[in-house]
Chain A
Amino acid sequence: MIQLATPDYIKTLQDNMHKLAEGVLRPISRKYDEAEHEYPKELDMFRGIKVMARPKKKKEGESASNDEKKPKRGANLGMVVTIEEMCWGDAALLLSFPNAGLGNAAILAVANDEQLERFGNKWAAMAITEPGAGSDSGAITTTATRDGDYWVLNGEKIFVTCADRSEVVVVWATVDKKAGKAGIKSFVVEKGTPGFTLEHLEHKLGIRASDTGTFVLSDCRIPYNNILGDPEVKMSTEGFKGVMKTFDNTRPLVASMATGIARAAVEFTKEQYEQKGYVFDYKKNLSNVSAAERELYLMEANVEAMRLLTWRAAWMADNGQFNNLEASMAKAKAGRYGTLITQRCCELLGPVGYSTHYLAEKWMRDSKIMDIFEGTGQIQHLIIARNVLEMSSKELK
């Protein structure tokens, strides 16, 4: 049965996370925007907290239980709710949370028990993008060549989040270029491995507290057992599709980041207007309010739309439904509107929006990445369009 009013357990989670965001993240938000790349040591308090959990494996017969039709409470919805609150606090700091890198998500999802033992408690970054392979992640050229009990990796990886702070990096490389996408596998590379160099850290428009960097792999030898998933190259792209499927889980996370930042901007702008004597009242009619008020109401509605699309994608994942389309919808909407809303709030705030004495200008810079990483807005639109039009990637390029 349709029921979209926020449940009490979610409200409790929101309240708790909000307190954390307000008490811990907001006070140091500007500090680490300015101290670009410096590790926010205040975040050490989160080191013990398990932000990510290994997805529960279904026991045999479990899926056939009687409450099959009952909606399930799952990790995905809890995660997007938490992330929205944290990003209301500060998105760059969230990205700096220890042991909560994208690589950790990949390891938790696909590592075998032995690998989990070795890497489960380590901060893991994810290295996919290359200078010549952005959205086209099937075109990566970093190679992994088998040499007895080792893999030898060669190539360059850019835009790696948590490049400096992470202890291990999950690197995407091809074991067989001729096999195309089917040849792409992921490998865990430990920091300090000879031939694995952090070449430099990037200076960015926003999320400056997050350390984004470039790695060079030069005859980097790692143990054979560091490959994640099946080492065999199958003649289908199922394996690659499986890897891409992790995006169905991570895209709603990015959408919730955009939602958190946009909400912060709208709330702040409304507060500033209220101080000037404006009264916001939902009983009013859009035709009878000022242009600025009207816009703020509409932005609030858009934030709600971003949130609900995100919650739907997460809820579907929690309930074992394929959510590729819905995940991209959430990301497409939230990425784009996050940018538009934070920009517009700055404008409505005037000098207060542009001064670094306040956070509005920072939110505008931080939000921009949400329409870029984990697949640009354009890629999301392409995925959605192919999906609803039932056209292949050849028919709709």
Chain B
Amino acid sequence: MVEEISFALSEEQQMMQDTVRQLVQAQVIDNIHQWDENRLLDKQAVQKFWELGIIQSMIPEEFGGYGMGSSPVLHTLVLEELASGDMSFAVHAMLPALFVLPVVSLGSVEQKEKYLPEFCNESFVPATLAVNELSVGFDIWNCETKVEKKGNSYILNGKKCFVPLANEAKYMIVVANYESNPHLFIVENGIEGVIVGEREKNCGWWALPTYEVSFENCAIPENNILGDKTAIYWLLQRTRTAMAAIGTGISRSSYEYAKKYAKERQQFGEPIASRQSIAFMIAEMAYEVDAMRLLTWKAASTIELGIDANRESFLAKIYAGEMTMKITDYGVQILGGHGYIRDHPVERYYRNGRSIALCEAMSII
């Protein structure tokens, strides 16, 4: 029974949005350019986010968490704010959630008891998700990474790419084909057969270390299977919605920056914003950012109600993918030559924004 529609944030949602916005303002905005250039962010900032307790609150009390449940709508609000600062930071900060949430929602009691308590600690616990594979037209429903059952173990073989923090992650959830269908497996990092490769060099996400991870006859215990096709379906709706939220955050920042610039930048004796060619681009950016957000909220609302959000999450993701490219392009274009120089963040938004459309399921929840 769905009773009412509402476009307004609740007090709790507003408070969360404000809190994360302030954190991004205080920790990220002034530093992100340097982090991006250094190819590494300051873990102190991530720790500050961890201390907000957002991830711990998803964990039920019996496993040491705050037992607040998880709200997909709240997560999209958090992700938009984080990504408005920087996508690398957003992914890094929320990364443990993509291990925690599947375990909370899909895991057995045994798995929950084993893995969750550690994530209720005071310091950030790196954990990650390995979905993508370095092949043209990667399709999550037909992974090349495969699993075979041998005795009491699953034997994992294959190669994943874009695995954030794979070098330091304690655990990872791996998507692999088992009996011709994709399944989710919990893999403890460091066990024999898990080979974390060189850090990848990507077009964007410079402040986020991502790795290629190979599995060579990697034996994982029978108990570490987390779910089958249904679980992938569950996961995909959430990662797609999350990607849409991140796209919204990046686009919003590109829009805000270009808007401010257009009012300040003087040419022909007046601000370039007073020219319709610029002003109309800014108008378009304004409503497309809103549209992206509304599609994201709709997908998240649908998930939150426990209704199948296959359509909603798909539409939100493809819309954000296309529009983030358009908006971040406008951001660079409005700044002209200055937008092409790395001193201005629109350059970074453009590179990072490109990934929304091309990653089916970046490892983010």
Contacts and interface: CB of A to CB of B under 8 A. Distances in A.
Given A305-B294, A395-B274, A385 B3 contact: no
B110 interface: no
B307 A333 contact: no
A73 B2 CA distance: 13
A73 B73 contact: no
A329 B287 contact: yes
A308 B274 contact: no
A1 B5 contact: no
B244 to A, nearest CB: 10
B262 interface: yes
Given A283-B310, A381-B280, A388-B259, A2 B139 contact: no
B86 interface: no
Interface string B56-87: 00000000000000000100010000000000
A309 B1 contact: no
A308 B294 contact: yes
A285 B140 contact: yes
B287 A332 contact: yes
A270 to B, nearest CB: 13
B318 A5 contact: no
B290 to A, nearest CB: 6
A77 to B, nearest CB: 7
B10 A2 contact: yes
A202 B321 CA distance: 43
Nearest to A394: B274
A388 B286 contact: yes
A396 B8 contact: no
B283 to A, nearest CB: 4
Interface string B128-168: 00000000011111000000000000000000000000000
A316 B273 CA distance: 28
B259 A329 contact: no
A319 to B, nearest CB: 8
Contact of B298 (A7, A282, A308, A332): A308
Interface in B284-328: 284, 286-288, 290-292, 294-295, 297-298, 300-302, 305, 307, 310-312, 314-316, 318-319, 321-322
A301 B8 CA distance: 22
B283 A2 contact: no
A3 B236 contact: no
Interface in A3-43: 3-10
A305 B311 contact: no
B32 interface: no
B259 A4 contact: no
B318 A6 contact: no
Contacts of B274: 391, 395-397
A172 to B, nearest CB: 27
Contacts, number: 176
Interface range for B:
35 or more
Contacts of A287: 137-138, 358, 360
Given A5-B307, A315-B5, A385 B291 contact: no
Contact of A73 (B4, B279, B292, B305): B4
A304 B319 contact: yes
Nearest to A4: B298
Given A71-B4, A305-B294, A381-B280, A4 B301 contact: yes
Interface string B10-25: 1011000000000000
A389 B259 contact: yes
Contacts of B301: 2-5
Contacts of A305: 288, 291-292, 294-295, 319
B12 to A, nearest CB: 8
B9 interface: yes
Contact of B318 (A2, A7, A286): A286
Contacts of B5: 3-7, 10, 71, 77, 311, 315
B7 A315 contact: yes
B297 A301 contact: no
A290 interface: no
Given A305-B294, A333-B291, A384-B283, A297 B318 contact: yes
A4 B307 CA distance: 12
B315 A333 contact: no
B103 interface: no
Interface string A306-320: 001101100110010
Nearest to A7: B2
Interface string A376-397: 0010111011101101000111
B286 A302 contact: no
B38 interface: no
Given A4-B298, A4-B301, A297-B318, A385 B311 contact: no
Contacts of B9: 1-2
B323 to A, nearest CB: 8
A326 B140 CA distance: 38
Given A2-B9, A3-B4, A309 B297 contact: no
Contacts of B358: 287
Contact of B2 (A2, A5, A315): A5
Nearest to B322: A298
Interface string B251-295: 000000001001100000000011010011011101110111011
A267 interface: no
A333 B287 contact: yes
B297 A2 contact: yes
Nearest to A8: B2
A288 interface: yes
A388 B13 CA distance: 24
Given A4-B7, A308-B298, A301 B315 contact: yes
A325 to B, nearest CB: 8
B6 interface: yes
A332 B279 CA distance: 14
Interface string A289-302: 00000000110111
Interface of B: 1-10, 12-13, 73, 77, 137-141, 233, 236, 259, 262-263, 273-274, 276, 279-280, 282-284, 286-288, 290-292, 294-295, 297-298, 300-302, 305, 307, 310-312, 314-316, 318-319, 321-322, 357-358, 360
Given A7-B2, A7-B3, A285-B139, 11 more contacts: A3-B6, A71-B8, A77-B5, A282-B314, A282-B315, A287-B138, A297-B314, A297-B315, A305-B291, A315-B5, A395-B274
20 contacts: A1-B10, A2-B7, A2-B73, A2-B300, A5-B301, A77-B5, A282-B310, A285-B360, A286-B321, A287-B137, A301-B319, A302-B319, A308-B291, A315-B5, A315-B6, A333-B288, A384-B287, A389-B262, A396-B274, A396-B279
